[in-house]
């Protein structure tokens, strides 16, 4: 390109990339066709006259995020950099911080926000600093009723405080000794009031656990005999006390009868369900839940994302919300 061409290309590029003018407007200004403008802009990129740089915060991995979204048919996928100890520490706390920012984008005034028990959702609630006015409801009982102040009850209260909306916590354990006790608790006034909100939830945040000690709260609450029985069904993941095999099919459904938790069918009807989970040890479990059709979005880390991108997405991507058992 000669000097005149370079000057013209630079001027056109400035109009297009910095001033936001259309190719038609630029063509009229310079007295050329819009096709000429398109060729000049293309040449400016090829000759390195124009450099396009896409910047996101250093902790976000935009390329992996987009690849993961496309592979599993998710509405949103946000991948953050894994800490150095990611191999040993699933669900690093920075996942909760990013998930809190994501909820700030997704929740609108008048929504009903549902929070399920989980370390990552508790971290997320602690990191919340802005939410539109909304109602907040607890979707599961607590891991240990004696630690409710530090767990999901406090997470619900925190989210409601930030939003200025009403809170509907559940003061009950997640897992009960038998189905009859669980059924009786579901009819108690406070718990029944929270359950009445389940069909009104518009955005939910859930955690995912793999079927091993210390990584799944449900696994840790069961006896050795019960763990072995559910493991024989091929359990690969747990979410809100629902168990899934590697293909996303629900197994061990009798466990749900003993639990205070949102039903799977109700979860599937919630317009936006954000799962928060990361770490290599949870990658298989995350993949299983994505194949279940129960979640629409994911916040994870690079350690899990790399393994997920190398695994098959399943017959139905997550956004279709289809039940693999149907």
CATH of the domain at 242: 3.40.50.1360
Q: Which range (202-216, 237-251, 268-282) has the least confidence?
A: 202-216
% of the chain residues with pLDDT over 90: 60
- Residue 224: CB partners within 8 Å, gap ≥ 6? none
In a domain, 85, yes or no: yes
Q: Specify whether the CB–CB gap between 326 and 105 falls below 8 A.
A: no
- Note whether 25 and 96 are same-domain residues: no
- Note whether 117 and 261 are same-domain residues: yes
- What pLDDT was estimated at residue 149? 44
- Note whether 9 and 149 are same-domain residues: no
Query: Nearest-CA neighbor of 167 among 143, 144, 190?
Result: 190
| pLDDT category of residue 91 using cuts at 50, 70 and 90 | low
Query: Nearest-CA neighbor of 215 among 194, 237, 190, 233?
Result: 237
| pLDDT category of residue 53 using cuts at 50, 70 and 90 | low
- Note whether 14 and 122 are same-domain residues: no
Q: What is the mean pLDDT of residues 53-75?
A: 81
Domain count, the chain: 2
Q: Which two tokens stand for residue 187?
A: 């009819």
DSSP class of 193: H
- Note whether 277 and 184 are same-domain residues: yes
- Note whether 26 and 145 are same-domain residues: no
Q: What is the mean pLDDT of residues 239-251?
A: 93
CA distance 285 to 255: 18
* Residue-number span of the structural domain to which 91 is assigned: 60-320
Place of tokens 């007295």: 31
Q: Which two tokens stand for residue 286?
A: 């995350």
- Note whether 41 and 79 are same-domain residues: no
Q: Which range (42-56, 180-194, 210-224) has the least confidence?
A: 42-56
In a domain, 208, yes or no: yes
In a domain, 325, yes or no: no
- Note whether 39 and 65 are same-domain residues: no
- What pLDDT was estimated at residue 84? 63
| C-alpha count within 13 angstroms, C-beta hemisphere, residue 109 | 0
Radius of gyration of the chain (CA): 24
- Note whether 41 and 139 are same-domain residues: no
Q: What is the mean pLDDT of residues 244-249?
A: 93
């Amino acid at each position: 390109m000669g000097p005149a061409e370079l000057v013209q290309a630079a001027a056109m590029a400035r109009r297009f990339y910095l001033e936001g003018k259309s190719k038609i407007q630029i063509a009229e200004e310079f007295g050329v066709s819009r096709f000429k403008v398109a060729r000049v802009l293309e040449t400016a990129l090829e000759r390195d006259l124009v450099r396009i740089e896409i910047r996101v915060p250093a902790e976000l991995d935009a390329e992996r995020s987009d690849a993961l979204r496309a592979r599993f048919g998710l509405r949103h996928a946000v991948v953050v950099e894994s800490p150095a100890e990611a191999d040993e520490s699933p669900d690093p706390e920075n996942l909760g911080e990013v998930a809190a920012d994501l909820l700030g984008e997704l929740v609108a005034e008048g929504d009903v926000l549902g929070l399920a028990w989980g370390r990552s959702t508790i971290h997320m609630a602690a990191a919340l600093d802005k939410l539109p006015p909304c109602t907040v409801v607890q979707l599961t009982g607590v891991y240990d009723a004696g630690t409710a102040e530090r767990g999901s009850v406090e997470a619900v209260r925190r989210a409601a405080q930030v939003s200025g909306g009403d809170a509907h916590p559940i003061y009950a354990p997640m897992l009960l000794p038998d189905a009859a006790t669980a059924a009786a608790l579901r009819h108690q006034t406070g718990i029944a009031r929270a359950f009445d909100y389940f069909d009104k939830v518009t955005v939910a945040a859930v955690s995912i656990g793999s079927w091993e000690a210390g990584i799944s709260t449900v696994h840790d609450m069961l006896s050795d005999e019960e763990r072995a029985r559910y493991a024989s069904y091929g359990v690969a993941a747990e979410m809100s006390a629902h168990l899934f095999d590697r293909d996303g099919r629900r197994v061990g459904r009798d466990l749900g009868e003993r639990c205070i938790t949102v039903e799977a069918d109700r979860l599937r009807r919630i317009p936006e369900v954000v799962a928060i989970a990361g770490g290599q040890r949870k990658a298989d479990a995350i993949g299983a839940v994505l194949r279940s059709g129960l979640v629409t979005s994911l916040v994870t880390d690079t350690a899990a994302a790399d393994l997920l991108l190398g695994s098959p997405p399943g017959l139905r991507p997550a956004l279709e919300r289809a039940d693999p058992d149907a």
